[in-house]
Amino acid sequence: MSNTRIERDSMGELHVPEQALYGAQTQRAVDNFPISHQRMPAQFIRALILAKAAAAKANVELKQLSESQGKAIVDAAQGLLEGDYMQHFPVDIFQTGSGTSSNMNANEVIATLASRLLGEPVNPNDHVNCGQSSNDIIPTTIHVSAALGLHEQLLPALVHLVQVIERKAVQVHPFIKTGRTHLMDAMPVRMSQVLEGWAQQLKANIGHLQDLLPSLQSLAQGGTAVGTGINAHPQFAAGFSRQLSNLTQVQFTPGKNLFALIGSQDTAVAVSGQLKAIAVTLMKIANDLRWMNSGPLAGLGEIELEGLQPGSSIMPGKVNPVIPEATAMVAAQVIGNDTTITVAGQSGNFELNVMLPIIAQNLLSSIELLANSSRLLADKAITSFKVNEPKLKEALSRNPILVTALNPIIGYQKAAEIAKTAYKQGRPVIDVALEHTDLSRSQLEILLDPEKLTAGGV
């Protein structure tokens, strides 16, 4: 075969692309798994490369590698991260359930680069993989990549969304709208109260996510094949976590029980469950925006979202709520990702979970999707929407449910009769109440004042 070279592993010889940095085991995975043509996520590969650098540093400290070997491995890893490293990682997501193919992909690529730097052979298994097994490095990489994704992407995006909502709540505080339950008219609320409700949902989600970080930052590294730590130095787990913490500026710790962290993916399942909860919150906010924006003539028309693009290829002038729609689709995808992770989490058979790559893919996908859509929702929907005050006032003036405020004075039954009459005749409830009660207009204006009915604030 032209433009190839011969590489060897424990199973024999294999043709590998001539310029490829990887070796035989990576090529076998490429040949064996032409399934989705999707590579492992870049965030996962980045975390795996960082883990290899941390392992090398720890092994030098523990005298398991020479200083020159360790430096070559670290320099090779850092060089990869400074360039287009994904071109060297072609292994499909749907591969061996332990992720061994991706682990060996990293080992081979780093070994090739380290050998060039050192001027002598650096072995993928004996040196780059020293003190490690795919069975602990891949679960570790799932935790590390997810933790970095939360710290660097999702948590800052959610905080930004909360801040934008709270600023908007101050701006729209003077506006009062018809509240709705069951999509039907209900008692009035301030626009600010609606938005503060969204903000509080998000704050609760942020808190729940932060509560999971200590578990996520607890690592399986040091357990090697089945959790016993065979072939790893007794201090390797502690040294690895310390070095990785220095490299990432995120505090990682050795797991309290490595058998649990290798045999299960309960933490990933828990994190995914919280990501699903965030998706549910974003779906609620997106749909509230869509309903309030609906119309503009035949819908609620309470707000006007920023027009971002033409909404129809056939209906001129139509503009759609594209950012809330995209956010709702993200929410649906994240909920689906969580289902996959739930099923995959059940595949912790005895001492190893065997669906690790798909857990990594779906977990990191959910983090990235939620982070990106949260920023878009903040910056292209919530920040810029305008309130249609005349529409709000028109609906409020005709809202029969305002009569609820009269219940303590005239009773539920009498109030119901007034509401039904006002609705049937299409008249303001205050006019009907004036005819059916002994209350004066001035009394009714005070009792039915929408501003007072919202408790006067957020």
Catalytic positions are: 182, 312
Give start and end residues of each alpha helix (H) in 378-406.
Answer: 389-397
CA distance 341 to 362: 7
Q: What is the DSSP string of 9-66?
A: ETTEEEEEETT-S--HHHHHHHHH--SS--BPPHHHHHHHHHHHHHHHHHHHHTTSS-
CA distance 369 to 151: 15
Q: For residues 82-112, b (16+ Cβ closer than 10 Å) or e, as one string? A: eeebeebbbbbbebbbbbbbbbbbbbbbbbb
Q: For residues 319-347, b (16+ Cβ closer than 10 Å) or e, as one string? A: bbbbbbebbbebbebbbebbebbeebbeb
Alpha carbon of residue 48 to chain centroid:
20
Radius of gyration of the chain (CA): 30
CA distance 384 to 376: 11
The single-letter DSSP state of residue 130 is T
Q: For residues 421-430, b (16+ Cβ closer than 10 Å) or e, as one string? A: bbbeeeebbb
CA distance 396 to 400: 9
Q: What would the two tokens of residue 447 be?
A: 């009792």
Q: Is residue 445 exposed (0-12), middle (13-18) or buried (19+ Cβ within 10 Å)?
A: exposed
